[in-house]
Structure 1
């Protein structure tokens, strides 16, 4: 019998084996293949990753805004203390409340913009400038609508009436900084809306007490 001759049944088995091996190798390659796995893993992790990044950035910006408001309060208080800003003394240095608010907004304009409406009708920035008989009479707490924790502020007692030479004055500013990232909102918001809705504001508070110089 010729060596090249094969039984028909064996030829059939060999054909099935040859066609079966590529299929099995294909399935093994598919099981081992990781093409696209990185894209899928990134899609799963992208949302929490970017939430953390945005939270870090927003927290940094909020605290920077707080430092900016503190600096503005100190600068405006120094202007009052030295007589470069006065009130109701019949001098060219006299400022109205609106002019004082505009000057304060100019100090923080690098990050916080005050609209014309905000200057005349405060909804975010509240400024309280008053004179007191002694330093002990200056209020040490932020006025709130209730005694509940994180209750909303009550600026109804705020005024603009600084004193003249040698008077004792308080300069206080409150600003509602809106927090956008839900991840950090429960942790850095310091006031809650009176209607019980979701908190969204980080309250920036800056206060300084001064005694004016005996300027002429």
Structure 2
């Protein structure tokens, strides 16, 4: 009888051992953090990269704006005049002002591809354009550069300085959301930095 009970008890032990293991397995949360992270990783990194890209673009636009103000001040006080500064020298000096974050090659100075500067003088402030020149009426159209000039005025004249820079967004996932120029031909879209100022030159000699 004892042998029969012992045999029955021995036969039931594997089942007893399996039950706690199955219960423990059902209650186990090992790996749940990894699964949750995998589900949240894409939106998390999307937000992180969006913050970084937006911050860099904002910093670059502020740098561009400061360069426009600096060069305009030199024009207003007579340090830069049509007689002593040509377009190449002006672009070179402008590139020096933004070199902390934005680099201009010799080719870029001579033939604009990313940095475009429009310097013109007007008879009145009312004649100064107030909108970004674009190639079409689309809100995401590229800038129209054919009318850009370098025609600074002399003493007492009314002038406008506009600068545009095509800032390339690095993160592919973010590009469709923060770019403001999206060509219809499928070429690379970018964030267009804009800085502009209007002023009247001092009555310098």
TM-score normalised by the chain length of structure 1: 0.87
1:20 aligned partner: 15
CA distance, structure 1, for counterparts of residue 184 and residue 200 of structure 2? 36
Q: Flag structure 1 segments of 5+ consecutive residues without an equivalent.
A: 89-93
The answer on whether the counterparts of 1:128 and 1:159 sit within 8 Å (CA) in structure 2 is yes
Is the aligned partner of 1:79 residue 2:69? no
The answer on whether the counterparts of 1:52 and 1:183 sit within 8 Å (CA) in structure 2 is no
2:109 aligned partner: 119
Is the aligned partner of 1:33 residue 2:28? yes
Indicate the larger mover: 178-187 or 129-138.
178-187
Query: What RMSD over aligned residues (CA atoms) do the two structures have, in Å?
Result: 1.7
If you compute each CA radius of gyration, which structure gives the higher value, 1 or 2? 1
TM-score normalised by the chain length of structure 2: 0.92
CA distance, structure 2, for counterparts of residue 150 and residue 53 of structure 1? 25
Indicate the larger mover: 29-38 or 153-162.
29-38
Query: After the TM superposition, which residues 132-151 of structure 1 pair with which residues of structure 2 at under 5 Å, given as runs?
Result: 132-151=122-141
| Residue from 164, 169, 185 that aligns with 1:174 | 164
| Residue from 188, 194, 207 that aligns with 2:196 | 207
| Residue from 2, 16, 34 that aligns with 1:6 | 2
* Distance verdict in 2 for CA 1:16–1:198, change over 3 Å: farther
CA distance, structure 2, for counterparts of residue 194 and residue 128 of structure 1? 25
Is the aligned partner of 1:42 residue 2:37? yes
Q: Give the C-alpha shift of residue 37 in structure 1.
A: 2.1
CA distance, structure 1, for counterparts of residue 30 and residue 187 of structure 2? 43
2:56 aligned partner: 61
* Distance verdict in 2 for CA 1:109–1:194, change over 3 Å: same
Q: Give the C-alpha shift of residue 182 in structure 1.
A: 4.4
CA distance, structure 1, for counterparts of residue 37 and residue 134 of structure 2? 45
CA distance, structure 2, for counterparts of residue 189 and residue 144 of structure 1? 15
Q: Give the C-alpha shift of residue 194 in structure 1.
A: 4.2
Q: Give the C-alpha shift of residue 184 in structure 1.
A: 4.0
Q: Give the C-alpha shift of residue 192 in structure 1.
A: 2.1
CA distance, structure 1, for counterparts of residue 15 and residue 201 of structure 2? 96
Q: Give the C-alpha shift of residue 149 in structure 1.
A: 2.6
Task: Provide the aligned length of Structure 1 versus Structure 2.
Answer: 205
CA distance, structure 2, for counterparts of residue 202 and residue 165 of structure 1? 36
Q: Give the C-alpha shift of residue 75 in structure 1.
A: 0.9
Query: 1:161 aligns to what SS in structure 2?
Result: coil
